Amino acid sequence: MYNKDDFSITKIEQSKINEANLENPGFGKFYTDHMLICDYRDGKWQTPEIKPYGPMQLDPASKIFHYGQSIFEGMKAFKDEKGKVWLFRPEQNFQRFNKSCVRMCMPEFPEEYFFGALDILMNLDKDWITSKDGYSLYIRPFAIGIENQVAAAPATEYRVCIICSPVKAYYTEESTGLKVLIQDRFSRSAEGGVGFVKAGGNYGASFYPTELARKEGYQQIIWTDSATHQYMEEAGTMNVIFRIGDTLITAPTNERILDGVTRKSILKLAEDKGFDVDVRPIKVEEVLNAEKQGELKEIFGVGTAATLVPFVGFGYKGEYFELPKVENPYGPQLKKALQDIQYNRAEDKFNWLYEIK
Ligand code: COI
């Protein structure tokens, strides 16, 4: 529980909602009227402020600019047909937010500030959420080191912000499916590294290999393990699931793989539908063999921003493999089951929804 009196709240004078294209918002193009800013100084979190969204000034010597001490979360709010707003499994994002903070040597953020800010922001900016299928409010909490000191050591001052963006599809190719390249040279993460948390640098470091893949006609990369490049790990900004025969296979989470909220939700829904689910290391070779034998039926990426995106084919060592068109694919069935819960159209039997009151 949070106390609204703990927050300083300044409302915007004139909403900017009319400047946004809510019908066709894209992803991360528009931001709602309000944001959270909360600073950590003198060993404690200061008063959390809800204020009009806008630029912030930082000293050029702030650690974030030099050492990338930055972590973030991605979560979504949905509006149901009656206009009620729901968050999807926000406690998972909160726990991971602090897990990321710990790994990046940053102070953990208080639960009551996190949930208090979400409640206040959702209430102030609920008009920005469209209740139609596929539309949601993408919520981006992030934390950065802001001490102005260029010594390579953890900051003593931090800032947590929460900004919100009305969104639709993350990938423009969502309806046609993505072509992905199995990466056998670059790595997203390594054992002992920060791949399991949402450090900003994990994403920044993926841009270059992804740009190279784009030049070859692929929209994303399937990352393999850094030590041998023999095992499938993640796909682009998502976890990745393979359907071989009628079994869904995905890698277990570890120090290199993000414990995705959508990943675990989709796996749960798959089990609930009676699909076979196998969480185990999956070799590139196994996928290639399954493709040869006609057993590789689907591959899809799962993540908060993208939800569930099917892949139409993949590249590996200069060869391209087109995936077959299967009857009644699992991917869309699972996406629908997930969205039915998110939009409060189906029974929330796993208690995933968090009601904004
Ligand atoms: C998400 O799916 O929410 C992510 O954090 C990926 C991000 C790079 C858009």
74 CA: nearest ligand 1 atom = 3
HSE, side-chain direction, 13 A CA sphere, residue 243:
24
* Boundary (domain end) residue, out of 168, 188, 220: 168
pLDDT at 176: 84
Ligand 1 midpoint to CA 15 (Å): 27
CATH code where residue 227 lies: 3.20.10.10
pLDDT block averages, 10 residues each, the chain of length 357: 93 98 96 98 98 98 98 98 98 98 98 98 98 96 98 98 96 86 97 97 97 97 98 97 98 97 98 98 98 98 96 97 97 97 98 97
HSE, side-chain direction, 13 A CA sphere, residue 270:
25
Do 193 and 253 share a domain, yes or no? yes
CATH code where residue 62 lies: 3.30.470.10
Do 116 and 16 share a domain, yes or no? yes
Nearest to 339 by CA among 308, 310, 299: 308
203 CA: nearest ligand 1 atom = 8
Q: Which two tokens stand for residue 86?
A: 């729901």
* pLDDT single digits (tens) 119-141: 999 999 999 999 999 999 999 99
* Boundary (domain end) residue, out of 168, 194, 227: 168
Query: Does the beta carbon of 305 sit less than 6 angstroms from any atom of ligand 1?
Result: yes
pLDDT at 175: 77
Residue 122 structural domain: 4-168
Q: Is residue 354, in this structure, part of any structural domain at all?
A: no
Do 145 and 185 share a domain, yes or no? no
d(Cα 284, Cα 281) in Å, to the nearest integer? Answer: 10
Do 162 and 20 share a domain, yes or no? yes
Q: Is residue 199, in this structure, part of any structural domain at all?
A: yes
Query: Does the beta carbon of 304 sit less than 6 angstroms from any atom of ligand 1?
Result: yes
Query: Best of 198, 237, 261, 309 to mutate for ligand 1, by most ligand atoms within 8 A of CB?
Result: 237
| Nearest residue by C-alpha to atom 9 in ligand 1 | 305
306 CA: nearest ligand 1 atom = 2
pLDDT at 113: 98
* pLDDT single digits (tens) 157-190: 999 999 999 999 898 777 788 999 999 999 999 9
Q: Is residue 190, in this structure, part of any structural domain at all?
A: yes
Do 145 and 114 share a domain, yes or no? yes
pLDDT at 172: 79
Kindly report the three-state secondary structure assignment for every residue of the chain: CCCHHHCEECCCCCCCHHHCCCCCCCCCCCCCCEEEEEEEECCEECCCEEEECCCCCCCCCEHHHHHCCEEECCEEEEECCCCCEEEECHHHHHHHHHHHHHHCCCCCCCHHHHHHHHHHHHHHCHHHCCCCCCCEEEEEEEEEECCECCCCCCCCCEEEEEEEEEECCCCCCCCCCEEEEECCCCCCCCCCCCCCCCEHHHHHCCHHHHHHHHHCCCCEEEEECCCCCCEEEEECCEEEEEEECCEEEECCCCCCCCCCHHHHHHHHHHHHCCCEEEECCCEHHHHHHHHHCCCEEEEEEEECCCEEEEEEEEEECCEEEECCCCCCCHHHHHHHHHHHHHCCCCCCCCCCEEECC
Q: Is residue 352, in this structure, part of any structural domain at all?
A: no
Cα separation of the two ends of the chain: 13
Do 154 and 216 share a domain, yes or no? no
Residue 295 burial (CB count, 10 A): 15
Number of separate domains in the chain: 2
d(Cα 217, Cα 323) in Å, to the nearest integer? Answer: 16
> 238 with 260: CB under 8 angstroms?
yes
Do 321 and 185 share a domain, yes or no? yes
Residue 285 region by backbone torsions, left for phi larger than 0, else alpha for psi between -120 and 50, else beta: alpha
140 CA: nearest ligand 1 atom = 3
Ligand 1 midpoint to CA 151 (Å): 30
d(Cα 198, Cα 201) in Å, to the nearest integer? Answer: 8
238 CA: nearest ligand 1 atom = 2
Q: Is residue 351, in this structure, part of any structural domain at all?
A: no
pLDDT at 282: 98
Do 187 and 162 share a domain, yes or no? no
HSE, side-chain direction, 13 A CA sphere, residue 161:
15
The amino acid occupying position 305 is A
Exposure letters 235-253 (e unless 16+ CB within 10 A, then b): bbbbbbbbbbeeebbbbeb
* Boundary (domain end) residue, out of 168, 200, 217: 168
Q: Is residue 347, in this structure, part of any structural domain at all?
A: no
Residue 49 burial (CB count, 10 A): 16
Do 145 and 210 share a domain, yes or no? no
Do 154 and 186 share a domain, yes or no? no
pLDDT at 212: 98
Do 68 and 143 share a domain, yes or no? yes
Q: Is residue 349, in this structure, part of any structural domain at all?
A: no
Query: Does the beta carbon of 27 sit less than 6 angstroms from any atom of ligand 1?
Result: no
Do 326 and 196 share a domain, yes or no? yes
Query: Does the beta carbon of 219 sit less than 6 angstroms from any atom of ligand 1?
Result: no
Q: Is residue 303, in this structure, part of any structural domain at all?
A: yes
